[in-house]
Amino acid sequence: MIDQPDKLYLERYRNERIDERLSADAVDGLVSIDRTKTLWISSMLTLGTVGAAMTATPGAVLLFVITTGVTLCLGHSLGMHRRLIHNAYQCPLWLEYLLVHLGVLVGLAGPITTLRVHDQRDWAQRQEACHDYFSQQATWWRDALWQLCYRIELRQPPQIHIEPRIAANPVYRFMERNWMLQQLPWAILFYAIGGWAWVCWGIGTRVSVGVIGHWLIGYLAHNRGHATWEVRGACTQGFNIPGTALLTMGECWHNNHHAYPGSAKLGLLPGQWDPGWWVLSGMHRLDLAWDIRLPEDLQPRPELQQIADQQPETASCVTGAACNG
């Protein structure tokens, strides 16, 4: 039997993977080079800069623009972040697999590693203090080096319990083991259609821009920008980065995300464009997404305080129908 306080705790944190009651230290850790990450980004940068410069064609550049937009929006934002990590909406399993695969193609890591790294970082940022690796408060060049080429090992890490539907899923385990090789079928297809120009721009340049852009937005979103909410007691706050909504597919509204991490909608205020939300709304119209969570669907957070004279708009589906219908 579970006593009543534990029932309340499990109910509140049923979507959390870290048991915050257990002892863990977000400060004491060792940062060391990750040879796999270093080799990966180095090879993609070489292919995506030198190779791309030598083979540039209008078709290859167009391929880069299209594939970057698709993988960032459908893959990283909708598949990895809003669906797999935060469970902010439900969709058919075949569609989830497709979206997560597109997210793997961004080139950051496999789905299980991406989830684990994200959750550990979010947990660390909620503590009273955390290592600069998590807060991204180091100088920009050091943070770039750390995030792109290094890893951190905490001496007392938190326990992260990934739900079996992800951790034991054979499809996700396959993606995890072969996340770099998933670029290969697309590289073969691109070569067959457009030669080395399509490979350089459709793989090397796209991955380089996706990975480095992910670091840059993360760095800016934890150091400067606009804020409407403060998470009291957290050592790291998120900031909104206006002007980058289309480039980030709505992921730039990071202050909103720190305030309501389980919300499927990131652009909460008027004028905050959110392409990921636009696509998700279209999926809802086609009955391909349901149980869409918005700020009003989440558990109240006593530590959340409004710090600007702005009120979040009432978030609702574009169709006007109930999002959870």
313, pLDDT greater than 70: no
Helix (H) or strand (E) holding 173: helix 170-177
CA end-to-end span of the chain, whole Å? 34
**pLDDT digit string, tens, across residues 106-119:** 999 999 999 999 99
Residue 7 has what pLDDT? 37
**pLDDT digit string, tens, across residues 9-66:** 333 434 479 876 678 999 999 999 999 999 999 999 999 999 999 999 999 999 999 9
DSSP letter at 304? E
**pLDDT digit string, tens, across residues 66-110:** 999 999 999 999 999 999 999 999 999 999 999 999 999 999 999
CB atoms closer than 10 angstroms to residue 180: 17
Closest CA to 221 of 320, 323, 137: 137
CA–chain centroid gap for 78, Å, is: 9
Helix pair 206-221, 35-46: axis angle to 10 deg: 120
Interatomic CA distance for residues 275 and 247, integer angstroms: 9
Question: Span 269-298, mean pLDDT?
Answer: 97
Residue 89 has what pLDDT? 98
Largest CA distance in the chain: 67
Report CA Rg, the chain. 20
Residue 18 has what pLDDT? 87
97 contacts 168 by C-beta, under 8 angstroms: no
Tokens, residue 170: 């054979």
CB atoms closer than 10 angstroms to residue 139: 9
Classify 176 as helix, strand or coil. helix
Interatomic CA distance for residues 23 and 225, integer angstroms: 33
Helix (H) or strand (E) holding 208: helix 206-221
Q: Report the length, in residues, of the chain.
A: 325
